[in-house]
Amino acid sequence: MKDEGMSRIVKTITSTIFPFIFIYGLYIIAHGHLTPGGGFQGGAVVASGCVMILVAYGSVWMMKKIKEKNLSVLESLGAIGFIGLAFLGLIFGEVFFSNYFANSKFFLFGEEVTFGVPEFANINTAGILPLMNFAVGLKVIAGLFAIVLIMAYATSKNKEGE
Amino acid sequence: MNIYEILLTNSPALIVAIPLLGAFLTPLISRINGKLRNLFAISVLGLTGFFIFWLAANIFIGKETFSYVFGGVETSTVIRIIFEVDALSIFMAIIAIILAFVGTVYSWAFMKDNTGLDKYYTLILLMTTGMLGMVLTGDMFNFFVFLEITSISSCALIAFRTNQGFAIDAGFKYIVISAIGALFVLFAIALLYSQYNALNMAVLANAIKYDFVDKIALVLLVGALAMKAGIVPMHMWLPDAYGRAPAPISLILVGVTQASLYGVLRVVFTVYGGISEILKVNAYLSLGTIVVILAIATMLVGVIMALKQFDFKRMIAYAAVAEIGFMILAIGTGLYLVGVGSLGADMAFKGGVFHIINDALDIGLLFLVAGSVYYATKETSLDKMGGLARNMKYTTIFFIIGLLAVAGMPPMNGFASKLIIYESIYQASPLLSIVAILSSIMLLAVFVKVFHSAFLGPAIPKFKNVKEAPKSMLLAMLLIACLIIFFGLFPDFIINNIVEPATNVLTGGVLS
Amino acid sequence: MTLPFALNIPYIAVALLILLGLYAVIFKRNLIKIVIGITLIESGVNMFLITLGYRKGSIAPIYTSSPGGIMALPVPQALTLTSIVIGVAVLALMLSLVIHLYRHYNTLDVRKIGGGKE
């Protein structure tokens, strides 16, 4: 079976490197309201890390471990989180998508923003924006990884002369 | 503020958000049960339809426009997305939700034997979100985003039957042309943003001066949106996409092409409607002439190509192209009459806007009939069918109603709108109205030929045991047929209350 | 307002990218090359959006009060991000359709596919 992945050296190195790529992607998602980045960019970085694992281990093995249904559930949870936060803005703040946590001294993400200070701001600011970044990041990770996994699985089955 | 006031003021956002939430919940609900998912999709669309009709009653009776600012109160220093709902927007939203609801009811029985149905219903709800967002928004970049959402989900639905190679080929052609058109729209939006530092349609309308860069942006916008609306010479994707998609998807695709036509109207009349009078008269004169020439070409190409088809749904697709030609002819004549300075332009615009909803209902009913014939006989080619009227009585009656409506015969709604179009074109040039009447008569000839060869005639032994279509398909066709007859019997009521406020948005300060 | 020539180079690059993309979509026969042509057009339009936001001598717009000089416009960057995401979705859809087409017709030539039940 030629499509069972690459050699043992490649498999070991990718398994070691993958947590660093994952943490770097989560850092980009979490700091989306301060530095360039956000939901889609960080999600694309983590999805690239997952695709690296896919290339090293082979798509047939990966499809047996991670079924496509689980990825679909994760993707739906991310999307429902995003729309749910927008609807909560309707209930709490009387306008759709309103940012009701910002500047409100809530414990999670609600500190005030100090203007006029020429340095990077506090991470504890900007209301529901980091939460929406997490929801979008989860959806992008699940979605992009599912696309590449299904494409790899479909063409590998094709090569064996279905 | 009680609960009704809160719901009414937030309804422009709810109209777009409820199908979106439904589309994201559908994969989770589909893991529980199949029938529950169908009921959930139909009820989400019904709830959205309730909000749309409530908002429409307020707009048509109260004669006001609703605007909704996302994410805060309306300040002037922060860029926010604003939904601006006036009579033309809610008119197109009514058409979109009627087509989506009827299509979903029809799909209950039609797509029963297919796999992957959870993705099908998710994509239908996403396509409805895109269509409703396109017609309700007041921001140019938001319009581009919803245009792309609609074209991506409708391409996936056209290529839904992946066991047939030609359906995937139609989907590929559709997405290539849609993507290039949408990228040109984005280029024109970038040009306008660089000149005026504004993305909102109302702010652009106040600030626009008609110099060279604005003319380039206008040509790019109208050209790309007309390509998505199926105007000759950019109509090549339309017969393939309509003819090879499943029948309820062809129905909802009619709504998508008309939402693109709404985009053309919005750009020409609202964004570019604030320029000074002398420039506007010149611009409308030249634009009107070009649109009338393209409309005549569209009608003739549609009717002549429909005469030589053997495939049922491809023939209806070419008839749809000809009907779009009728709409464009009325609007182009209106533009030309405004440019020349006569007073008949108001009636021309009324005929064009009324024909939008009539065309959606008529062509939609014909697609549903073609779908039920395919469901019963598994054939789409006309020379292999015959004598179906013995076993499929209700389908034959619905086909006769659709045939009379498309050809413009009383008492159907096609007669009312086409009569207004003929009268208003006669003022511009009598020769054009003769061409329009001849196209209608040729459409009648095409469909009478189809009626004779498919429904009348001796019974073919292979089809001796075909059964009538299932109840949900008949219910969907009955809904549209009732609307067609209602619009045909009371056109005055519809024109005075629904079409006239929409036309007043178009003509605005031109004719007052 | 004529710009010095060095600031015109991004706009010339945008024009070249869009023309190359249109050439690939219209004149090439391989399906994958048509998909690449659409990606080229999308890259050109994205670059046009970002170049419009540049002001002479500006820095990245990530501060609340900049340490030196003016900041470039942030709104075109948000528009470009949305456009890149849409481009990814369209690219994924087109490539899935190409995989299906190859499985049905066993060729990637755009003149040999299609034309089934006419």
Q: Which residues of C touch A118 (CB under 8 A)?
A: 63, 65-67
**Residue spans of chain B under pLDDT 70:** 1, 73-78, 508-512
Which residues of A are less than 8 Å from C95 in CB distance? 151
Taking residues C67-95, report their average pLDDT: 90
Is residue C45 a part of any domain in this protein? Answer: yes
Sign of the C-alpha dihedral, residues C98, B121, B473, B303? negative
Compute how many other C-beta atoms are within 10 angstroms of the C-beta atom of residue C56: 10
- Is C118 among the domain residues? no
CATH number for position C42:
1.10.287.3510
Q: Is B28 on the interface with C (CB under 8 A)?
A: no
Main-chain dihedrals φ then ψ at residue B483, nearest 5 degrees = -65, -40
The alpha carbon dihedral of B257, B258, B259, B262 has a sign of positive
Residues of C with CB under 8 A from a CB of A: 60, 62-67, 81, 84-85, 88, 92, 95-96, 99, 102-103
| Beta-bridge partner residues of B83 | B68, B137
**For testing contact with chain A, the best of C82, C85, C86, C90 (most A CBs within 10 A):** C85
Alpha-carbon gap: B511 to the closest alpha carbon of chain A (Å): 37
With CA atoms as reference, report the closest residue to B364 among B508, B256, B218: B256
Using CB atoms, which residue from A69, A73, A90 is nearest to B10? A90
CB distance C49–B156 less than 8 Å? no
Q: Per the domain annotation, does B296 fall within a domain?
A: yes
Q: Provide the pLDDT confidence category of residue A29 given band limits of 50, 70 and 90.
A: very high
Mutate to test the interface with C, among A29, A35, A68, A147 (most CBs of C within 10 A): A147
Name the residue of chain B whose CA is nearest to C112's CA: B169
Mean predicted confidence (pLDDT) in A76-95: 85
The percentage of chain C sitting over the pLDDT mark of 70, rounded to a whole number, equals 91
Phi, psi of B68 (to 5 degrees): -135, 125
Could you tell me the residue range of the domain that residue C9 belongs to? 5-105
Question: What residues does B85 pair with on adjacent strands?
Answer: B66
Alpha helices in B267-311 (DSSP H): 277-307
3-state secondary structure (DSSP) of residue B200: strand
User: What token pair was written down for B163?
Assistant: 């066991």
Q: Is residue C112 in some structural domain?
A: no
Q: Calculate the alpha carbon distances from A24 to A17, A20, A29, A55 in Å.
A: 11, 6, 9, 20
Residues B444, B440: Cα–Cα separation, whole Å: 6
Secondary structure in 3-state letters for C10-33: HHHHHHHHHHHHHHHHHHCCEHHH
Query: Is position C32 within any domain?
Result: yes
Split into its structural domains, chain B has a count of 1
Give a yes or no: residue B9 inside a domain. no
Quick check: is B372 in a domain?
A: yes
Distance CA B216, CA B375 (A): 48
The answer to the question of residue B145 being in a domain is no
Q: Exposure of B206 by Cβ count < 10 A (0-12 exposed, 13-18 middle, 19+ buried)?
A: exposed
Asked if residue B446 is part of any domain, the answer here is yes
Considering only residues C66 and A73, tell me which one the structure prediction assigns the higher pLDDT: A73
The yes-or-no verdict on residue A19 having pLDDT over 80 is yes
The answer to whether B178 and B151 are in contact (CB under 8 A) is: yes
Q: What are phi and psi of B114, to 5 degrees?
A: -90, 155
Question: How confident is the model at residue B254, as a pLDDT?
Answer: 92
CB–CB contact A113 C64 (8 Å): yes
Residues in A closer than 8 angstroms to C82, CB to CB, are: none
Inspect the interface and report whether the beta carbons of C48 and B187 lie closer than 8 Å.
yes
The reported pLDDT for the residue numbered A96 is: 79
Residues of A in contact with B77 (CB under 8 A): none
Residues with Cβ within 8 Å of A138's Cβ and at least 6 positions away in sequence, in order, are A43, A74, A75, A77, A78, A81
Residues of the domain holding B335:
276-512
CB atoms within 10 A of CB B303: 22
Least confident of A117-121, A146-150, B34-38, B308-312: A117-121
Q: Give yes or no for B171 touching C (CB within 8 A).
A: yes
DSSP 8-class letter at C56: T
Sign of CA dihedral A27, A30, A33, A39: positive
The tally of domains found in chain C comes to 1
Beta bridge partners of C30: C109
Is C117 within 8 Å of B311 when comparing Cβ atoms? yes
φ and ψ at residue B494, rounded to 5 degrees: -70, -45
Q: Which residues of A touch C (CB under 8 A)?
A: 34-36, 38, 40-41, 113-121, 144, 147, 151, 154-155, 158
What distance in Å separates residue B130's CA from the closest CA in chain C?
14
Among candidates B416, B438, B419, which has minimal Cα distance to B492?
B416
C-alpha distances (whole Å) from B432 to each of B296, B330, B402, B423, B439 are 8, 11, 25, 11, 11
C10 vs A90 pLDDT, higher one: C10
* Amino acid present at B59: I
Report, as an integer, the average pLDDT of A32-55: 90
Compute the distance between CA of residue B279 and CA of residue B272 in angstroms, rounded to an integer.
11
Q: What band does A158 get if pLDDT is binned at 50, 70 and 90?
A: low
The answer to whether residue B418 is domain-embedded is: yes
Return the number of CB contacts < 8 Å for A and C.
36
Evaluate whether B30 touches B118 at the Cβ level (below 8 Å).
Answer: yes
pLDDT band at A104 (very low <50, low <70, confident <90, very high): low
In eight-state DSSP terms, residue B137 is B
In contact, A131 and A89? CB cutoff 8 Å: no
3-state secondary structure of B333: helix
Q: Are B277 and B338 in contact (CB under 8 A)?
A: no
CB spacing of A120 vs C66 below 8 angstroms: no
Count how many Cα atoms sit within 13 Å of the Cα of residue B373 in the half-sphere of its side chain.
Answer: 30
B292 in a domain, yes or no? yes
The pLDDT of residue C114 is 66
Q: Are residues A96 and B73, on separate chains, in Cβ contact within 8 Å?
A: no
B129 assigned to some structural domain? no
For tokens 């053997």, name the residue: B310
